[in-house]
């Protein structure tokens, strides 16, 4: 048996391991456990947002800026907690309840992401009036700092948010 033939199994295993590591690096996860949930599914053709899912590389790139943004709220005297991201999990059920109380919300397809007291509304609504009502409802929840209404009217066109699977 030639030396190359003897090395082939080891080379094949090394190539498979490298391929597996590369594939694992591309898998997206909610590394920071940011609240992400769906409020309604009334417009089934609405494109689902990506949500707070990142590859391992994207996570590494975001870690430093998240540390800065999380403490800047406290340093500015706008938060009592030294990390604004710690507000997010307790805010999630309050934001969900406020949005579900908006008349007509079930006729839309809306997802919510909460990061450092910012509420991102993503998805599709049947009217601009409903989008405004949802934004006002989320904004009225105590401890919500900002609401970003990334909502489309209807289901046609390019969504103003990152899309799942891309």
Q: What pTM was estimated for this model as a whole?
A: 0.83
The position carrying tokens 């391992």 is 56
95, burial (CB in 10 Å: exposed 0-12, middle 13-18, buried 19+): buried
Map out the domains of the chain as residue ranges: 34-49+85-153
Of 69, 97, 96, the C-alpha closest to 85 is 69
pLDDT tens for the chain, residues 1 to 166: 566 556 555 545 544 544 444 445 589 999 999 999 999 999 999 999 999 999 999 999 999 888 888 888 889 988 888 899 999 999 999 999 999 999 999 999 999 999 999 999 999 999 999 999 999 999 999 999 999 999 999 999 999 999 988 7
Q: What is the pLDDT of residue 65?
A: 87
């Amino acid at each position: 048996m030639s030396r190359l033939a003897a090395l082939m199994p080891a080379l094949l295993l090394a190539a498979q391991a490298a391929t597996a590591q590369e594939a694992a690096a591309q898998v997206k996860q909610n590394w920071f456990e940011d609240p992400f949930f769906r409020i309604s599914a009334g417009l089934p053709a609405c494109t689902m947002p990506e949500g707070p899912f990142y590859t391992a590389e994207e996570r590494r790139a975001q870690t430093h800026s998240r540390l800065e943004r999380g403490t800047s709220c406290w340093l500015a005297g706008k938060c009592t907690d030294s990390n604004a991201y710690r507000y997010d999990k307790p805010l999630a059920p309050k934001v969900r309840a406020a949005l579900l109380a908006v008349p007509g919300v079930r006729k839309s397809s809306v997802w919510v992401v909460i990061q450092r007291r910012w509420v991102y509304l993503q998805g599709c609504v049947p009217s601009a009036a409903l989008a405004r009502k949802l934004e006002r409802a989320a904004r009225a929840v105590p401890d919500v700092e900002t609401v970003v209404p990334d909502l489309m009217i209807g289901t046609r066109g390019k969504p103003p948010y990152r899309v799942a699977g891309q």
